[in-house]
Amino acid sequence: MFMKRFKYNFKEQTNAAPLAIFRLFFGLMMFASILRFWAKGWIEKLYLVPKFHFSYFGFSWVKPIGDYTYLLFIICGVSAIFVAIGYKYRVAIITFFLSFLYIELMDKTTYLNHYYFISIVSFLLIFLPANAYFSLDAFVQKKQYKLVPKWTIDSIKLMLVIIYLTAGFVKLNSDWLFRAMPLKIWLPSKYDLPFIGENLMQQNWFHFAMSWSGMLYDLAIPFLLLYKRTRFVAFLFVVFFHVFTRLLFPIGMFPYIMIVSALIFFDATLHNKIINFIKKHIIKSKTILLLEPNFHFSKLKSKVVLSLFAVFFAIQMLLPWRSLLYPGELFWTEEGYRFSWRVMLMEKAGSTNFKIVNLNSGASFRVNNTDFLTSFQEKQMSYQPDFILEYAHFLGDHFTKQGYNNVGVFATSYVALNGRLSTRFINEKVDLYQQKVSFTHKKWILPFQSQIKIKGI
């Protein structure tokens, strides 16, 4: 009985409409995101103005490509449109995935969990028959499929479930639950919100209520969405939660993407109604396409994709917990912090300055960070150890190239975390230029010294 319940039928077919609608909205959202990014002048500000870019380990070869960076965004935006309408779908989604990934890898200063979300979802979409139904590809081939393998749609649901659950589990820590941090810092600063800014946002109980309900929301919402009878209410929660966070925080398009993604949990009746609505009012097409009942992967293809997905989801489930392999306080060292759905868990800021020392004579001078970094980069660099190390190497190389000898690079760094007073962050006596960039524990980060420890996951 137990086994039976958990036995998954990979042969089961289901209506293709939810996948088609997901594809359509995802593509449109991505196009809007790219347009918005461009319109805000961020391409220039984040990728063209900086003289130096922070790279992900092993991806230092991915850099902005001058004015061609705009072309890259055009390619990414156009391919998003192609994905939306489902035209040359496979090529379009691969192009979108690669161009978006390239953009994200250019500079890790701009890392956001929701960009990571977009990258992995577009990766999944490469392998899904999202153009089988209600797509331009189907129109051109005059043939569309009513049913697709159920696991294709379920794989997107699984991804969302993993994200929500992980985001919920990582909120089980003392800062979030018992100090209401960082919401206690962020919410009162929204004093200028109409109606609620001056009262609700300032209340201690409200900070705690928000922390706890955020945690409960993340842990419960996947189940409420999966269960048919609670689904509509759950969706209302999703909308409320994301719209509310959108009003409070500068999180761009992410809330809308999450709201639209949650539609995948509904059954096909809804999606078919949306499709009929679009057909009737927007496309106004009366063409009737030949409707094939079933879309099937070939046996081999299905085997390959399923094994790939097995590996992929295993990684997705394990990767957020890699931080357990490192000693020390995760929020302090941030070793294994990225790619783990730790969303809005920290208010962290720092001040980090570098001293270039001639190791023979002891002569030294300090670096003015603004000579090399934009204020945004400096802000990010100041409290993230991997940024500090990469920048120290850049400075070492730069001044060596300038003709200085026996260059040593030392950092004076203070960091404040979740409302604690700032304390020293980096061991000032360690020559960072001699430290290798790697995934091993960074011994030159001073231990987290605050009396107020962080307990939990």
Partner 1 sequence: MFRKFLVLFVSIITFLACSSSEEITPTIIDGFDRNALLENIADNIIIPAYEDFSGKMNALKTAGDTFSTAPNQSNLEALRVSWFAAYKTWQHIEMFDIGKAEELQFKFYMNIYPVTVSDIEDNITNGSYDLNSVNNQDAQGFPALDYLLHGLADSDAAILEKFTIAEDNDNYKNYLIAILNQMNTLTTSVVSDFKAQRNAFVISTENTATSSVNKLINDYIFYYEKGLRANKFGIPAGVFSENALPEKVEGQYKNDVSKELALDALTAVQNLFEGRHYNAATTGVSFKDYLVKLNRTDIATSTSDQFDIAGSQVEKLDNSFAAQIDTDNTAMTMAYDELQKAVVLLKVDMLQAFNVSIDYVDADGD
Residues forming contacts to partner 1 in the complex (CB under 8 A) are 40, 42, 45-46, 110, 112-114, 185-186, 188-192, 194, 197-199, 202, 232, 236, 239, 243, 246-247, 249-252, 254, 269-270, 273-274, 277, 343-344, 347, 349-351, 353, 363, 365-368, 375-376, 379, 382, 414-416, 419, 421-422
Closest contact distance (angstroms) between CB of 378 and partner 1 is: 10
**What is the distance between the alpha carbons of residues 112 and 164, in angstroms, rounded to a whole number?**
16
Q: Which residues contact 437 (CB under 8 A, 6 or more apart)?
A: 57, 386, 389, 390, 393
DSSP string, 269-289: HHHHHHHHHHIIIII---PPP
- If the CB atoms of residues 302 and 450 are measured against partner 1, the closer one turns out to be 450
Closest contact distance (angstroms) between CB of 408 and partner 1 is: 14
- If the CB atoms of residues 202 and 435 are measured against partner 1, the closer one turns out to be 202
- If the CB atoms of residues 141 and 368 are measured against partner 1, the closer one turns out to be 368
Position 64, amino acid? P
Closest contact distance (angstroms) between CB of 169 and partner 1 is: 18
Closest contact distance (angstroms) between CB of 90 and partner 1 is: 30
Q: What would the two tokens of residue 40 be?
A: 């805000």
Rg (CA), the chain: 25
DSSP tag of 86: T
- If the CB atoms of residues 7 and 401 are measured against partner 1, the closer one turns out to be 401
DSSP string, 128-181: S-TTSSSSHHHHHHTEEEEEEEHHHHHHHHHHHHHHHHHHHHTT-BHHHHHS-T
How many Cβ atoms sit within 10 Å of the Cβ of residue 282?
8
Closest contact distance (angstroms) between CB of 91 and partner 1 is: 29
Closest contact distance (angstroms) between CB of 440 and partner 1 is: 27
Q: What would the two tokens of residue 62 be?
A: 């991915």
| CA nearest neighbour of 374 among 52, 32, 22 | 52
- If the CB atoms of residues 192 and 299 are measured against partner 1, the closer one turns out to be 192
- If the CB atoms of residues 188 and 328 are measured against partner 1, the closer one turns out to be 188
